[in-house]
Structure 1
Amino acid sequence: MKRSVSLYSYQDEYYEGKLNLESCLAEVSKTGAEGVELLAEQMIKRFPDSIDEESFQEQWKVWLEKYQLKPVCYDAFLENKLFDNRTLTLREQVKMMKRDIRLASILGFKVLRTLVSTPLEVIEGSLAYAKEKDVKIGIEVHAPFSLNSTWADSYLDLIKRTGTKHFGFIPDLGIFCKSIPDVVRDKALIRGAKPECVALVDKAYEKRVEDGFIKIEYDLNLGKANMAYREANGLSKLLESVKAMGGGKADLDYANASFTYSWSDPQDLIDNIDHIIHIHAKFYNVHDDYVETSVAIPEIIDALKTAGYSGYLSSEYEGGEHLRNYTNVDSIEQVRRHQQLLKDSISLISN
């Protein structure tokens, strides 16, 4: 297994002007990671035009060589709601997907991440071009979606029907949360949530983990599918219990937020390993003892080792969004700790 870092992790420092694209790459290199995952729309000025310019292409190559990094995954965003009055047509969406495949190829990326909301028809319409450019399209399996579910089955059917080697899954490790991230809990308490209501929500989450989450069903309407998933896993009952305890807005927000996270058996990784092309190693908070208290990293690494996974795990820090309004965010230190945790976990399992 190899390690990389998604530049998404450094969004706070980038936004505040503490880091630019080159210094983000420098920070990745300092962690000992081999690869980099890029959000071009976020971090490349004058996107997408500048990527076609020879000067930028040469600069990108110089940076990669300077910091000894490999381009691992290009994160694309299918902006199918560019207009207020309509969604992009299928033809327009496929054109945008092909644009991103081409840009990924120019920058040396062999994997393109597309969002969970990407329609099957858009992926299928882009497969021939992906093959031509030798870029694999990976759909992100982001909570509350999961592998070994009817949602995933629809994409597996596409793979079987087309026989493609240029499409697969990119699991996000947020689907392996054994508890609600502590930074989310801390934010709720700062906002005035009652400790007894927070404890109730935490206990309800633990019960869902123990009993097993009812997985989300495939539906073209993702909003509808998401709400059905929440209801099936006890949202209304939990909200009623919080209200009965006198919970206010902060308590209800925390209860709702608890359904943003989910637990899947790491066996899902083993079952689908033939179609996993990259992994988003999502994390929320790594303590100074190098423990991530929410994401079950040792169990995940163990499953990947059993399955024979030899691809990249890309650190993706998402704890900052829960901290930035209340305290300083130190994404650089968080990514450093997470990379060390991944390194130690891989080494331990390997031995």
Structure 2
Amino acid sequence: MPRKYWSRAPYAEDKGITILLEVHAPLHFDHPWIIRHAEAYEKANTRALGFLPDMGMFLFRFPRVWKERFIRNGCPQEAADFIEKAFDDRILSEYVILDVMQNGARPQVAMAETLRHNAAFEPKRMLDFMPRIHNIHAKFYEMTDEIAEWSIPYDEVFRVLKQGGYQGYVCSEYEGNRWIEDAQEVDSLEQVRRQQLMFCRLLNETPPPALLTQ
């Protein structure tokens, strides 16, 4: 673990501050670098060190807003379909990238490269680290009219958080805007409203009136 964590942890604990390391794709809770930090946190015997997982590591479907943007950028439909299916089939990213590089041009290579940094890791892996998870970045790319996220299984994510007794915040983090702004007006507020409505449903809570007004 970097020396800076050791030096700051006692001060942070004394001040009631928690220093969180973000676990963000392509990192995940089985990654050696994260495991080494977890082991070091335990050796440090302090409550001031923890983790902040980004839900983008649980990308169970290739975001369609990504695919549509790559097609607009020149990726042929056939190549886009091939890359999406390779992601769905969990084919090793390097194999897909090699195939595309041998037969494709820059737009399809750029799309294939996203497989190198994104994968469908298991939300249940958070359970072993739950005592040190104190905040959640609820990454999302597209909230549908059915009030569900297209790519990330938030029903499973919330089931795991409940099972682990998570008591912290879940913060909306919308990143779909950058994938659609070339083709349509971005309504980030509406996307966040829908995600917050989804949270209410998953928590069996009554939505506040502000969330029910479009």
Output the CA distance in 2 between the equivalents of 1:322 and 1:120.
35
Q: Given that residues 280 and 315 in structure 1 are in contact (C-alpha distance below 8 angstroms), is that contact kept between their aligned partners in structure 2?
A: yes
Alpha-carbon deviations, 1:238-270, whole Å to 9, x = none?
1232245x4221111100023232211111111
- Structure 1 segment 72-91 matched on structure 2, within 5 A: none
Question: How far apart are 1:178 and its partner, in Å?
Answer: 0.2
Aligned equivalent of 1:202, options 68, 84, 87: 84
Aligned equivalent of 2:107, options 238, 250, 260: 250
**Distance 1:262-1:234 versus aligned 2 partners, 3 A rule:** closer
Question: How far apart are 1:202 and its partner, in Å?
Answer: 1.0
Query: Helix, strand or coil for the counterpart of 1:282?
Result: strand
Matched with 1:173 is 55
Q: Please, what is the CA RMSD of the aligned residues?
A: 1.7
Residue 145 of structure 2 is aligned to residue 263 of structure 1: no
Query: Helix, strand or coil for the counterpart of 1:144?
Result: coil
Q: Given that residues 65 and 179 in structure 2 are in contact (C-alpha distance below 8 angstroms), is that contact kept between their aligned partners in structure 1?
A: yes
Structure 1 runs not aligned, ≥5 long? 1-118, 212-232
Opposite residue 149 of structure 2, the aligned amino acid is: E
- Structure 1 segment 281-320 matched on structure 2, within 5 A: 281-320=138-177
Alpha-carbon deviations, 1:290-330, whole Å to 9, x = none?
12110110011111111111211111111112222332211
Q: Given that residues 142 and 191 in structure 2 are in contact (C-alpha distance below 8 angstroms), is that contact kept between their aligned partners in structure 1?
A: yes
Query: Helix, strand or coil for the counterpart of 2:146?
Result: coil
Output the CA distance in 2 between the equivalents of 1:143 and 1:251.
21
Output the CA distance in 2 between the equivalents of 1:240 and 1:131.
48
TM-score scaled to structure 2, two decimals?
0.89
Question: How far apart are 1:182 and its partner, in Å?
Answer: 1.4
In the alignment of these two chains, the number of paired residues is 205
* Ranges of 4+ aligned residues in structure 1 off by more than 4 Å: none
Query: Helix, strand or coil for the counterpart of 1:313?
Result: strand
Q: Given that residues 173 and 281 in structure 1 are in contact (C-alpha distance below 8 angstroms), is that contact kept between their aligned partners in structure 2?
A: yes
Which structure is larger by alpha-carbon Rg, 1 or 2? Answer: 1
Output the CA distance in 2 between the equivalents of 1:321 and 1:262.
20
Opposite residue 129 of structure 1, the aligned amino acid is: Y
Output the CA distance in 2 between the equivalents of 1:285 and 1:247.
28
Matched with 2:93 is 234
Query: Helix, strand or coil for the counterpart of 1:347?
Result: coil
Matched with 2:208 is none
Opposite residue 53 of structure 2, the aligned amino acid is: P
Matched with 1:339 is 196
Q: Given that residues 93 and 115 in structure 2 are in contact (C-alpha distance below 8 angstroms), is that contact kept between their aligned partners in structure 1?
A: no
Matched with 1:329 is 186
Matched with 1:33 is none
Opposite residue 126 of structure 1, the aligned amino acid is: R
